[in-house]
A = this chain, B = another copy of it.
Amino acid sequence: MTQRLSPGATVGILGGGQLGRMMAIAAAAYGLKTHIYAPDPESPAFEVAGRHTLAAYDDEAALVAFAAAVDVVTYEFENVPADTVHLLSRHVPLFPDDKALAITQDRLTEKTFVAGLGIPTAPFNDVAEVADLEAALAAFGRPAILKTRRFGYDGKGQVKIGPGDDAAAALAAIGHVPAILEGFVPFTREISVVAARDREGNFAAYDVCENEHRNHILDVTRVPSAIPAKLADEAIAATRRIAEALGYVGVIAVEMFVLEGDADAPDGRIIVNEIAPRVHNSGHWTIEGAVTSQFAQHIRAVCGWPLGSTRRTGRVEMRNLIGEDVDRWQEIAGDPELHLHLYGKGSARPGRKMGHVTRVVPE
């Protein structure tokens, strides 16, 4: 029997950005307290949480005190150091667990895991040395993408290798750290599945999201996706297989590419690009566009509550406000049908996610 946290309990959240902030707001609606742990004094999530700890992720004394002050721990980002997770796990339940983190922190481990489930990915190979890279380039052809195994996000830690590019220079460009080479995949669409699995193994997915990126950063998400229903079902089934294989608890997001159809698969094919063991930018539309937001859903799952409905309430478009896009807030606030979300961040640096805006059109 799952231990269900009661209202009044405290959810600990590692990370103080917009995802932690929106999780804390969702927890408050359920009468749960939140305690944010983050190293940045300007963390936007501190503003909406009853308690916070300002400390580094490797501050053992602060972590032990944090674990003692909360009833469960979750996180807003997948690069939580393994030592942090292990230390916390000895003192307090942590979801999603260390297995989900260990697999998704490393692109090689992640892709190997996905491929091992029989789910297609782009061709990939481990790259430790220039010789590995040259062999993989020979096998996959060019262009191909060299990515660091760890700590990549929003296009950081990756470099495209075209016909004339030098392999050694590419490896140097990413700092000569452990990497993988991914073969280039000519996709027609980018989609994601945001879903949740509760502590008893129940699974619920939102409708497939169709995503557009700009400068490697999510720009727009539209739901429903225009892909055929059969592909959407496959995308959700793949996500479920991944969540079940991980014994996952919480919200998970799986980014995928849709490939052109061919004789064997006239509707096209899906390949998995990346797993995010957390709430995801492409799920922000669920705040107004679904019965249960991804943030509320995640809180439910990690607290041992049953899942809420993922039913969509209309056709949805979510647009990120990146950097100086946020200067448009007055225009957005002036459209009575738009839902403006701002994250309370100070300076609108280029590429920084400052907020988002959602429109839900009744169907």
Question: Which residues of A pack against B, CB within 8 Å?
Answer: 4, 6-8, 21, 24-25, 28-34, 46-50, 291-292, 300, 305-309, 311, 313-314, 326, 329-330, 333-334, 336-337, 339-346, 355, 360, 362
The dominant DSSP class at the A interface is loop
Q: Is the CB of A336 within 8 A of B28?
A: no
Is the beta-carbon distance between A342 and B30 smaller than 8 angstroms?
Answer: yes
Query: Are B25 and A28 in touch, CB under 8 angstroms?
Result: yes
**Would you call B309 and A344 a contact (CB within 8 A)?**
no
Integer count of this chain's copies in the complex: 2
Residues of B close to A31: CB separation below 8 A = 329, 341-345, 355
Closest chain-B Cβ to A319's Cβ sits at a distance in Å of: 16
Q: A7-B344, A29-B342 are in contact. Are A336 and B362 (CB under 8 A)?
A: no
29 CB contacts below 8 A, A to B, read: A7-B329, A7-B342, A8-B346, A24-B48, A25-B28, A25-B29, A28-B47, A30-B333, A30-B340, A31-B329, A31-B341, A31-B342, A31-B345, A31-B355, A32-B344, A34-B47, A46-B50, A47-B49, A47-B50, A48-B48, A48-B49, A291-B337, A291-B339, A292-B336, A305-B333, A306-B334, A307-B336, A309-B336, A313-B313
